[in-house]
Structure 1
Amino acid sequence: MNNNFDNLVRDLEEYNISITDEQIDQLEKYYKLLLEWNEKINLTAITEFEDVCKLHFVDSVSSCQFFDFQNKSLSVIDIGTGAGFPGIVLKIFYPELNVTLLDSLQKRITFLNKVIDELSLNKEGSIKTVHGRAEDFADSKNGVLREKFDVAVSRAVARFSTLCEYDLPYVKKGGCFIAYKGDKGIEEVKEAKNAIFLLGGKIKLVEEFVLPNSDIKRTICIIDKVQETSSKYPRKAGTPQKNPL
Structure 2
Amino acid sequence: MYNNYGNSNNNDGDEKRVAPEKNWRIPKLFPELGQDILNKLKIYHTELIRFNGRINLISNRTERDADIVHIADCILATKLLINTTQQKQIFDIGSGNGLPGIVVTLLDATRHIVFVDKDARKIEFLKHIASRLELKNVQFIHAKIEEVKDIEIHCAISRGFASITKSIMALRKPCPIGAEYYHMKSDSWVREIAQIPTQVCKFWEPSLIGDYVLPTTNIKFSLVLTKKIA
* Aligned pairs for 1:67-78 within 5 A: 67-69=81-83, 74-78=88-92
How far did residue 63 of structure 1 move?
A: 2.6
How far did residue 69 of structure 1 move?
A: 5.0
Q: Which runs of 4+ in 1 moved over 4 A?
A: 69-73
> Aligned residues: percent identity?
21
RMSD: 2.4
Equivalent position to 1:133, from 125, 134, 144: 144
Q: Deviations over 1:6-25 (max 9, x none)?
A: x3245447xxxx21211111
With normalisation by structure 2, the TM-score equals: 0.80
Gaps of 5+ in 2: 1-21
With normalisation by structure 1, the TM-score equals: 0.76
* Aligned pairs for 1:10-49 within 5 A: 10-12=28-30, 18-45=32-59, 46-48=62-64
Q: Deviations over 1:69-94 (max 9, x none)?
A: 58776110011001001111111111
Residue type at the aligned position of 1:128: Q
Q: Deviations over 1:166-211 (max 9, x none)?
A: 245443422311001122111111101536425x211132654422
Gaps of 5+ in 1: 138-142, 228-245
Alignment-derived partner of residue 223 in structure 1 = 226
Residue type at the aligned position of 1:174: G
How far did residue 44 of structure 1 move?
A: 0.9
User: Which piece of structure 1 moves more, 25-34 or 105-114?
Assistant: 25-34
Equivalent position to 1:100, from 97, 114, 125: 114
Quickly say closer, same or farther: Cα 1:144–1:225, change in 2 above 3 A. Answer: same
Equivalent position to 2:204, from 194, 201, 214: 201
Equivalent position to 2:217, from 193, 214, 217: 214
Whole-Å Cα distance in 2 between the matches of residues 72 and 192 of structure 1? 26
Residue type at the aligned position of 2:141: V
Whole-Å Cα distance in 2 between the matches of residues 106 and 195 of structure 1? 34
How many residues align? The count is 207
